[in-house]
Amino acid sequence: MTGYLPVAIYLAFIIAFAVVMLSVSRLLRPNRPVAEKTLSYECGAEPVGDAWVRFPVGFYLVALVFILFDALAVFLFPWALALRGLGVWALGTMFLFLAILSLGWVYAYREGILEWR
């Protein structure tokens, strides 16, 4: 059980750091929300139209592909650290895992999501 003490201390430190930083800056910075200040910044010009417009779907697909492979990377880190202890068996499993995910990559490539129309 004692193994988790450093993790708890580390967690407490993270939370404390965030809380202190935010509260001190809120305490010290002047807060004057004047009308023009909260106007959205359009390089100096009057904001024209609003930004809530239907985006082409291309942006959304690229974001999806990114999340897919970001999740993949999360698994790689602990695997790489513990590889020496686990031996060849772990190597095979991870490559199988990577092969399955590269199928997704090939599908995305063939569907033309990556070329920006």
Partner 1 sequence: MAVKAPIPEVPAPVWRSFKDLQEFEALRQQRPEGDKHSATFESLTEGIHQFPGGFVVTTLADTFFNWARKSSVWPVTFGLACCAIEMMATFASRFDVERLGMVPWASPRHSDLMIVSGTVTIKMAPMLERIYAQMPDPKWAVSMGSCANSGGPFRHGYHVVKGVDRVIPVDVYVPGCPPPPESLLNGLLLLQEQIAHFRRTGQRAAPNEKVD
Partner 2 sequence: MIDTAVQSQVAIDYSAGERLTMNMGPQHPSAHGVFRAILTLEGETVVGVDAVIGYLHRCHEKLAETLTYAQYPSIASKTDYVAAMTSEFAYVLAAEQIGVVDVPKRAQYIRVIAAELQRIASHLLWLGTWCMDMGGALGGGATVFLYCIRERELILDLFESLVGARLLYGLFQVGGVRYDLPDGWPQQCRDTLATIEQRLIEYERLLEDNPFFLARARGVGFITRELAEDVGVAGPLLRGSGVNFDLRRNLPYSSYGDFTFSVPVEPEGDCFARYRVRMVEFRQSIAIVRQALDRLPDGPISSRPALKSVAQIRIQKGEAYARVEGPRGEVGCYLIADGSPKPYRMKWRGASFSNLSVLPHVLPGHKVADVVAIMGSVDPVFGEVDR
Two structure tokens written together for 111: 């569907």
User: Quick one: which segment of 10-18, 23-31, 78-86, 97-105 binds partner 1 (CB under 8 A)?
Assistant: 23-31
Q: Is 48 in the site for partner 1 (CB under 8 A)?
A: no
Closest distance to partner 2 from the beta carbon of 62 (Å): 11
Contacting residue, 3, 6, 30, 44, with partner 2 by CB under 8 A: 44
Contact 80, 86 (CB under 8 A): no
Contacting residue, 29, 32, 37, 54, with partner 2 by CB under 8 A: 54
Closest distance to partner 2 from the beta carbon of 66 (Å): 17
Closest distance to partner 2 from the beta carbon of 52 (Å): 10
Integer Cα distance of 37 and 103 in angstroms = 49
Q: Is 40 in the site for partner 2 (CB under 8 A)?
A: no
Contacting residue, 28, 45, 73, 81, with partner 2 by CB under 8 A: 45
Instruction: Please work out, in degrees rounded to the nearest 5, the angle formed at the alpha carbon of residue 76 by the alpha carbons of 74 and 79.
Output: 120
- How many Cα atoms are found within 13 Å in the side-chain-facing hemisphere of 29? 9
Structural element, H or E, at residue 8: helix 5-28
